[in-house]
Amino acid sequence: MSNLEEKMSSVNLNAWFGQKQVLKDISMSIKAHTVTAIIGPSGCGKSTFIRTLNRMHELVPGARMSGQILLDGTDIYGNEVDPVRVRRRVGMVFQKPNPFPTMSIYDNVAAGLRLTGTKKGKNLDKVVRTSLEQATLWDEVKDDLKKPGTSISGGQQQRLCIARAIALQPEVILMDEPCSALDPIATAKIEELVVQLKENYTVVIVTHNMQQAGRVSDYTAFMYLGQLIEFGDTTTVFENPKSELTEKYITGKFG
């Protein structure tokens, strides 16, 4: 797997909220068409890290960063780079399913495309259907596309949010604890979906669930107090971690 092409990387990445440094000199390579899991205790910087990967970190007042985030070798923080374009290429799915509450299932998926004016009419229908199919939701909602996005179950709503992200044809999908609000059945469906998604996209997933990281990811990064403690292929990290800190965290002997 080490021969895989690099899709993104962070180079000596530091990030702050005001005076507080939350990421410390993180360098990590994310390979194309793989799932990379980010694990670590609450407050270790996992979510901040993935938010730097699509320039969402800078939207928080007082937040700043240094270092580089490369997407296909180009620094997404370069002067010429449009952050909106970056966020289209690097989509995000959040912890809690957040479909637009006033919109139908169809409109939720179509919203981004309508905003950017890139697809209309039959083309739009096609993209909505493909996105819902890729999110493994089409069969469940195809007869209810006009119903509100919030009328379906939590698990379905999260897959709707994934379909919404897919509709913009991103290259990388970031997921911030996408299953934390879901029951085990819905979680299993999202996990299956995550594994399927890597065929077409590169996925980075933040999770508190060790077993989930083990099940879905090819690579695992363990973060602690803003530092990247260990990064490696998931089997090695979970069977024979190099760092004692990683061992303690994943076996629950922490603190």
Partner 1 sequence: MQRLMDKGLEQLTATVFKMGEVAEKALTIAIGGFVKGKDTSEDVHELSEVLVAMTVEVEEKSFSLIAKYQPVASDLRIINSYMKIAYDFERYGRYAWDISYLGKRFGKLDSCDKWVHENIGVMGEKVLQMVKISNTALKSFDTELVKIVTETETEVDELYSQCLNKIVERAEITNECTVTNVLVVRYLERIADHATYLTEAVVYIATGKKASLR
Residues found near partner 1 in the complex (CB under 8 A): 210-211, 214, 238-241, 246-247, 250-253, 255
Shortest CB 236 distance to partner 1, Å: 9
Would you state the structure tokens that stand for residue 49, as one six-digit string?
């890290």
Shortest Cβ 203–partner 1 spacing (Å): 21
Write the DSSP symbol of residue 5. P
Closer residue to partner 1 (CB): 62 or 184: 184
Closest distance to partner 1 from the beta carbon of 238 (Å): 5
Q: How far apart, in Å, do the first and last CA atoms of the chain sit?
A: 33
Positive or negative, the CA dihedral 172, 91, 121, 97 is positive
How large is the angle between the packed helices 154-167 and 105-116, nearest 10 degrees?
20
Smallest distance from the beta carbon of 197 to partner 1, in angstroms? 24
- C-alpha dist (Å) from residue 85 to 59, 88, 114: 15, 5, 15
Which is nearer to partner 1, 177 or 230 (by Cβ)?
230
Phi, psi of 37 (to 5 degrees): -100, 140
Nearest to partner 1 of 133, 247 (CB atom): 247
Tell me how far, at minimum, the Cβ of 160 lies from partner 1, in Å. Answer: 29
Nearer to partner 1, 74 or 236 (CB): 236
In the sheet where 63-71 sits, what is the strand order? 20-31, 6-17, 63-71, 74-75
For residue 98, with 0-12 CB atoms within 10 Å meaning exposed, 13-18 middle and 19 or more buried, which class applies?
middle
Q: Between 74 and 211, whose beta carbon lies closer to partner 1?
A: 211
**Min CB(252)–partner 1 separation in Å:** 5
If the CB atoms of residues 20 and 253 are measured against partner 1, the closer one turns out to be 253
Residues 39, 46 contacting (CB under 8 angstroms): yes
Tell me which amino acid residue 138 is. W
